Chain A
């Protein structure tokens, strides 16, 4: 698939197993709430609507425009989805987009998918929703104000999601906090402008062609107090915590050490068990035997597979 590799899809191998599983658990919990909330209001029509719009968000990511020096801005879509579908349905739609990108195009890992869903679907939609609502109540609800609020929602959704991503990398020990956070934040502050401009442009177009879509009760105007508060708190927390963590990486480590989390997060699981002393298993001999067994299994599997493949292609050649 040709699109610029978005620096926010974390591949597998980057996050430690514990951090991955931790964010899977959070994302599953939030998805559960989102499913319950949408189930209450779900009409038959909404499944094809979310499906086709998910495809549109995916395809919309290739609509780019030249910025400067060969770089281009393009759409990620969480804010637009939130404004058009409402926050809970947007979380589900973005989850599907991110999952298909990981599953089919290896854009983001499978084990890291929980973290990617948290950053791009949950954080993206919750922050968009909170900022959109807050901006609307600050600058007024006139029709001309919609694109302005959309720009703010889009910029913040990208920016805050990138902070969350950087913190995950730092927690996994894959990138030091004092570099990962400012770097991710800096890049995405720029990417966010592109996202904001396209989102605003799309809202101007939709406002002219189908103004009813921006007024319906199914859009972000529908109130969801929990998500409003959640999105606001998430934004503030990440925005406040990130500079702290990047200027005092020791602070992050201190907090984590207090919680006994950092070592667990950085190392694989079994670092949790300090001295697993299974008698005899430390011997090199046993390791060699095990290696031998594994080697034999692989060789056997390979030869069996070749034999089976050949038989199959022969039966095919005979037209059987």
Chain B
């Protein structure tokens, strides 16, 4: 495929570098959920995901409750539901990996598909496991999506620090987030420059061999790394000039122990009840 096809694809990346800011999933607001501390929200999200993945496969009547919890919370927080759901559909390709499970689990046959010389038999346990995996993925992605829609990245990092995540990892993640969009713009400029220098006549093959194209992309990656390396040196000098001594400091996390305990208590109780229901109803 010639190089110019890259340009016709017209992704955000190769056309409008500054729109990469749109990629930040945080939607500012001042709902109760926005004001809850990031640590509480992170813990509740993890609790929700843990509950969902631990749920028995056939807890069909609990899944709608779990969905209602996410969607109503999102609605209350003023998060655009269409955006949340649209984002959650992105993972669907991964479901392909679970497709063979439809035919592989032994059990009551539901229907058969003749496929050439052999016959594929869809079984009830296979369908049940496939569906439950699909539903669980969908629910969990929405929960994580909701968390990032109502929590800004710096608050999330502070929460991780509060939960005793290693200091270096959090500091590296903070710097990564700070420079992600800058460097994404840099990469987008590289892609645009390549598109601008590539051309194609109709009916004519253009672009070099695969190895040549890979070498061009490799050169771009190499130069992106070198530029980032130089940038990191500048960043380091700037940090030093502002008194950096190997320790990154931030404002203390918002204190709201009462609300936190209440939210965690209610949330934990709800999740346990749902798990119990799931076990009863499966």
Query: If the complex has contacts A38-B168, A67-B210, A294-B273, are A55 and B218 also in contact, measured as CB distance less than 8 A?
Result: no
Beta-carbon contacts of A240-278 to B below 8 Å, as 1s and 0s? 000000000000000000000000000111100000000
From the candidates B56, B223, B266, B281, name the one contacting A297 in the complex (CB within 8 A).
B266
Residue pairs across A and B with Cβ atoms less than 8 A apart, 13 shown, are A11-B94, A51-B176, A55-B183, A60-B187, A65-B216, A106-B91, A110-B140, A174-B98, A180-B97, A213-B229, A268-B55, A297-B270, A298-B69
Measured between alpha carbons, how far is A52 from B183 in the docked complex, in Å? 8
Complex interface bits, A3-14 against B, C-beta within 8 A gives 1, otherwise 0: 001010111111
* Interface size class of chain A, counting residues whose CB lies under 8 Å from the partner chain: 35 or more
- For A268, A287, A293, which residue has the most chain B Cβ atoms within 10 angstroms? A268
Within 8 Å CB of A298, what residues of B?
65, 68-69, 72
Instruction: Verify if B31 is at the interface (C-beta below 8 Å from A).
Output: yes
Q: Is the CB of B1 within 8 A of A5?
A: no
Work out how many contacts link A and B, with CB atoms closer than 8 A. Answer: 344
Once bound together, how far apart are the Cα atoms of A63 and B174, in whole Å? 23
Chain B residues positioned under 8 Å from A51 (CB to CB): 171-176, 178-179, 232, 235
Interchain CB contact under 8 A, A294 and B270: yes
Closest to A194 in B: B214
Contact A106–B280 (Cβ < 8 Å): no
Name which of B55, B73, B144, B184 has the most chain A CB atoms within 10 A of its CB: B144
- Pairwise interchain contact B31-A309, C-beta atoms closer than 8 A: yes
Which A residues are within 8 Å of any B CB, using their own CB? 1-2, 5, 7, 9-17, 20, 31, 35, 38-39, 42, 44-45, 47-56, 58-60, 62-70, 73-75, 80, 84, 92-93, 95-97, 99-100, 102-106, 109-111, 169, 173-176, 179-180, 183-184, 194, 197-206, 209-210, 213, 267-270, 281-282, 284, 286-287, 290-291, 293-294, 297-298, 301-302, 305-306, 308-309, 312, 316
Interface centre among B56, B133, B216 (most CB of A within 10 A): B133
Sort A-B residue pairs by CB-CB distance and give the 7 closest, nearest first.
A201-B218, A51-B175, A205-B222, A13-B136, A197-B214, A12-B140, A202-B222
Residues of chain B lying within 8 A (CB to CB) of residue A316: 30
* Cβ-closest chain A residue relative to B68: A298
**B167 CB, min distance to chain A CBs, angstroms:** 9
Q: How many residues of B contact A (CB 8 A)?
A: 115
**CB-nearest residue of chain B to A180:** B97
Interface flags for B1-37 (1: CB within 8 Å of A; 0: not) read 1110110000111000000000111000011100000
Looking across the interface, which residue of chain B has its beta carbon closest to that of A67?
B210
Q: Which residue of B lies closest to A43 (CB)?
A: B246
A65-B217, A197-B218 known; A44-B225 Cβ under 8 A: no
Residues of chain B lying within 8 A (CB to CB) of residue A297: 266, 270
CA gap between A147 and B107 in the complex, in Å: 52
**B176: contacting residue among A7, A67, A96, A106, CB under 8 A:** A96
* Contact across chains for B232 and A202 when beta carbons are under 8 A apart: no
Instruction: Evaluate contact between B222 and A206: CB separation under 8 angstroms.
Output: yes
A290 to B25, CA, bound (A): 35
Q: How far is the CB of A29 from chain B (nearest CB, A)?
A: 13
**Cβ contact of B3, chosen from A53, A66, A184, cutoff 8 A:** A66
A310 to B255, CA, bound (A): 25
> B153 contacts the other chain (Cβ, under 8 Å)?
yes
What's the Cα separation between A39 and B177 when bound, in Å? 22
Say yes or no: A11 contacts B141, CB within 8 Å. Answer: yes
A276 vs B2: C-alpha distance when bound (angstroms): 63
Which has the most chain A C-beta neighbours within 10 Å: B3, B53, B56, B87? B53
Provide the bound-state CA to CA distance between A52 and B184, in Å. 11
B180: interface (CB < 8 Å): yes
Shortest distance between the CB of B168 and any CB in chain A (Å): 6
Interface contact A294-B274, CB-CB below 8 Å:
yes
| Contact A2-B225, Cβ < 8 Å, known A199-B218, A204-B215 | no
Taking a contact as CB atoms under 8 Å apart, the answer to whether B148 and A104 are in contact is yes
